[in-house]
Structure 1
Amino acid sequence: MKFTELLTPDNIRQGVVASSKKALLEFIGRIVGKQVNSEQFTGLKCFESLFGREKMGCTAIGSGVAMPRARLPVGDKPIAVFLQLTEPIDYEAQDKRKVDLILAVLVPESLCSSYSANLSELSEKLTDKNLTKKLRAAQSAEEIWQVFEFADAYLDESVKEEAATTSN
């Protein structure tokens, strides 16, 4: 799966200030709540869903990156939000590293089973050192989008090359 298939430029925030994991999840909840625009799934419900998932296990994936996720009770396509923080926050990561890059993914309940492999693939791509370096250096949401466009082309090509090498 490509970042640009899941994410939209409107859901990228650069230079976000967050004091804690909870504040960060609340911020994501407000962004997603406005988009879903449903009495059934408000920003508060989105936060509760993300926070509830976080209680089951930390969604930090290492190297200062987190990928919080939750289920959407409504909708027919996933919603993703990417945040670049100005200062890293304690995210209770296994590697003890503070987090400053976050890709939140909310998947409609009807699509959850078909997206589990996609989320693993994205998680792996998100820990690529070149990608995280470029995402941290980006100075605007537009630059972050361009980094993801480049990553989609480059990381997909390197995966294809690796698959071709191992099959020979």
Structure 2
Amino acid sequence: MPIVKLFSTPEGILTLAPGNKAELLDLLAAEAANRLGRKKEEILQPLLGREKLGSTALGRGVALPHTRLEWLESPLAILARLTHPIDFDARDDEPVDLVFLVLWPEAASEGFLPALSDICRALRDQQLPRQLRQARSAEEALARLQAADQPDIDAGP
């Protein structure tokens, strides 16, 4: 599934101001619960459980908290840009200011790892995180994600 389809509307992009990792996960779980018509705890507890296995910080200021949920019918992703970087227990000790939340249906587990891999692959290009940080609107950030999904086109023979 192309990354941009996970973030199909500008509402998938938030600006948040959490004080720490626990507060961030709580805010993201509340937002996802609101969008899905579920209770926040149904999302927060699996996210916290995943973080106990090891930090989902990728490094260079980016985190990818994720979990699979039995009751979820289709994937949901939220990109949060933080107004102030926070500690996320990253291996490189860099504070996090870009967060990709990915919730995935347990019944469709075959697409889960490829989706996470696609996000990680897009983020290897150091231009994308910088562009997402500099985007002046959710629409612009979504356009940057869409551009990152496009394969490189060789203009010459």
TM-score (norm 1): 0.85
Counterpart of 2:21? 21
Secondary structure at the counterpart of residue 30 of structure 1 = helix
Where does the alignment leave 5 or more consecutive residues of structure 2 unmatched? Answer: none
The answer to whether the 8 A contact 1:71-1:108 is kept is yes
Would you say 1:44 and 2:41 are equivalent positions?
yes
Stretches of 4+ aligned residues off by more than 6 angstroms: none
- How far is the alpha carbon of 1:66 from its aligned partner? 0.4
The answer to whether the 8 A contact 2:122-2:149 is kept is no
Q: Percent identity?
A: 34
Matching residue within 98, 102, 111 for 2:99? 102
- How far is the alpha carbon of 1:140 from its aligned partner? 1.8
Counterpart of 2:33? 33
Where does the alignment leave 5 or more consecutive residues of structure 1 unmatched? Answer: 162-168
Counterpart of 1:150? 147
Deviations 1:29-82 (A, max 9, x none): 0111112214xxx11221111111001111011111000001122132110010
Counterpart of 1:165? none
Deviations 1:86-117 (A, max 9, x none): 11100010011100000000001111233212
> Which is worse superposed, 44-53 or 89-98?
44-53
Matching residue within 84, 88, 109 for 2:85? 88
The answer to whether the 8 A contact 1:61-1:127 is kept is no
Counterpart of 2:136? 139
- How far is the alpha carbon of 1:124 from its aligned partner? 2.1
- How far is the alpha carbon of 1:118 from its aligned partner? 2.3
* Count of residues paired in the alignment: 153
**Aligned residues: CA RMSD:** 1.5
Counterpart of 2:13? 12
The answer to whether the 8 A contact 2:64-2:102 is kept is yes
TM-score (norm 2): 0.90
